[in-house]
Amino acid sequence: MNRVYVVFVSMLFLLTVTACDNSAGDKPSGGTAGNATVVSAVTGSPSGTQNDGEPAYGGRIIIGSIGEPTNLISALASDSVSREITSWLYIGLLQYDKNLEIVPWAAESYDVEEGGTLLRFRLRKGIKWQDGTELTADDVEFTYRLMIDPKTPTAYASDFLAVKEFRKVDRYTVEVRYEKPFARSLITWMSDILPRHRLEGQDLLTTPLLRKPVGAGPYRLKEWVPGSRVVLEASDTYFEGRPYIDEVVYRNIPDLATMFLELKAGRLDMMSLTPQQYKFQTTGGDWDTQWHKFRYLSFGYAFLGYNMERSPFDEAPVRRALSCAIDRNALIAGVLLGEGRATVGPYKPGTWVYNDKLADYPYQGVEKFPSLLLDIKLTSS
């Protein structure tokens, strides 16, 4: 189905608890360093930091999750919960830094040559999977072959299918060639590398790694209690060094109202807030002294899609008329309480893929809708 986007981007809010108050027995484990390494304390000196302000190892962070993962092989998972959890378990050749710039990760370095049609990646030596096996170019090649295999049930094959030729140069070097420059080429190789020695020859729909993954990331799976929680523990074999936070816990709480009550009771360290919670339910009192709120533009978006294979949506004037008749700013004000931004296309404003030179369809009001359709002699009826 082809779609024309009428888009607005919502603000995503994260609320994180500091280590200022942790006296109740049913709160996350006492005075955790995890909280202190994620956010700074509002008052006092949390036990998760040393006196000189340097981070210390220990503690855990408990995060509210609206659902639980479908599986823990990222290439097979299309839901956001699975993707978020697996991001702790695996690594890619490249990654985003804090400024959303693409930087090496498993790759020690990379080159872009021949007008963007050739990529060369040199892997770091000594990266270990959690079972002690070294991660090499064999794993990168296996992941690529797996992603382009029509038998692999993945939603992410298209970027890999754009590759004209993949070549393993040696144990730590791979080259990727494209027919022509491909805008998403570097992003493609931010995808998780999968372990060849554990997955080769296995049925991806039944492999034990769906629920007991073997990764090379900063965390590894400690416990998965269906319908309750997923617990990750810091990996001692992570090539960039052991994370400071001992455990990352995702609690499955399908109802946002219940999740908010758990947050208020101190049984969660972090959750995403609705606009109403952010603006009206988390101000004053302890919210101002014991908690931190962070507000930023989300990668998520909402859109109205048209089936362009069916009448009347196969007519461009109809689609333009509908776009001009929708007041997106009014929707943002009413539904998101002003916490959002109208945008052009499915990309986050401020990122390299967002084209700020595109002219948006102006809102012209519902009363002008009939006149907007004159080109194809339709009426509002």
pLDDT 10s digit of each residue in the chain, 381 long?
A: 444 444 555 554 444 443 333 333 333 333 222 222 222 223 333 334 455 678 899 999 999 999 999 999 999 998 889 999 999 999 999 999 988 889 999 999 999 999 999 999 999 999 999 999 999 999 999 999 999 999 999 999 999 999 999 999 999 999 999 999 999 999 999 999 999 999 999 999 999 999 999 999 999 999 999 999 999 999 999 999 999 999 999 999 999 999 999 999 889 999 988 899 999 999 888 888 888 888 888 888 888 888 999 988 898 888 888 888 889 999 999 999 999 989 888 888 888 788 889 888 888 887 766 665 665 555 444
Where are the CATH 3.40.190.10 domain residues in the chain?
27-66+218-283
β-pair type (102-104, 219-225): unpaired
**Cβ atoms 19, 357 nearer than 8 A:** no
Give the sign of the dihedral formed by CA 82, CA 85, CA 89, CA 95: positive
Q: How far apart are CA 244 and CA 33, in angstroms?
A: 8
Distance in angstroms (rounded) separating the CA atoms of residues 247 and 58: 8
Q: How many residues does the chain have?
A: 381
Q: What architecture does CATH give domain 94-199?
A: Alpha-Beta Complex (3.90)
For the entire predicted model, the pTM comes to 0.79
And the tokens for 185? 């080429």
Q: Which residue intervals of the chain bear CATH 3.90.76.10?
A: 94-199
Neighbouring C-beta atoms of residue 90, cutoff 10 Å: 25
- From the candidate CATH numbers 3.40.190.10, 1.10.1370.30, 3.30.1240.10, 3.10.100.10, the one assigned to the domain spanning 27-66+218-283: 3.40.190.10
Angle (nearest 5°) at CA 311 between 308 and 312: 95
10, containing H or E segment: strand 7-17
Alpha-carbon torsion (67, 87, 271, 32), positive or negative? positive
Pairwise CA distance, residues 107 & 122, whole Å: 5
